[in-house]
Amino acid sequence: MSSTEIETPPLLGSAEEALAAADAVAAQVVRGAVRRELEDVPPLEELRLVAVSGLLGIGVPSEHGGPDLPLSVVVEVLRRLSRADSAVGQLLLSHYVLGQGIRGLGHTAPAPRLYADILGGAQLGNATAERGTRTAAERVRSRPSLPRSSSRRFSPPGRS
């Protein structure tokens, strides 16, 4: 098994199973969370633990083979994992939001494949560029906010 492959995760069919799994994973994730934050180490092993636990699939609709647990359970799972390591929670937020967004596709492509991947332990992610930038280098520094003029362009203070 390569480092990118994971064992087939269990299907967590109830809120109790999902919350118990979240607590078990959180107990492992919390170890080293401060060190990872201070040393700027991404929580890759911790995300693998989430994947093999079955927690990534808790929001998959039943018509796609998932447990279709309520959003309240998904939010509570995310809260428990975030308390253990906020970086893990931040990285999982887009997974759960995008997973809910796929529902609008019904059974049309690519929903069936994406949900099958999620149930297999795949994590959805999100990558975007800041508005108005072309490269990562342009996003490194913060720029002060400038007021908008009526033409929707930014204007220096005192000019509209």
Q: How do residues 64-115 score in pLDDT, each as one tens digit?
A: 999 999 999 999 999 999 999 999 999 999 999 999 999 999 999 999 999 9
User: Angle, nearest 10°, between helix axes 86-101 and 71-84?
Assistant: 160
How far is residue 141's CA from residue 43's CA, in Å, rounded to a whole number?
24
* Domains assigned to the chain: 15-125 (1.10.540.10)
Q: What pTM did the predictor assign?
A: 0.77
How far is residue 157's CA from residue 27's CA, in Å, rounded to a whole number?
50
Q: How do residues 24-72 score in pLDDT, each as one tens digit?
A: 999 999 999 999 999 999 999 999 999 999 999 999 999 999 999 999 9
Locate 81 and state its tokens. Answer: 């994992």
Amino acid 138 reads: E
Judged against a pLDDT cut of 50, whether residue 4 lies above it is answered with yes
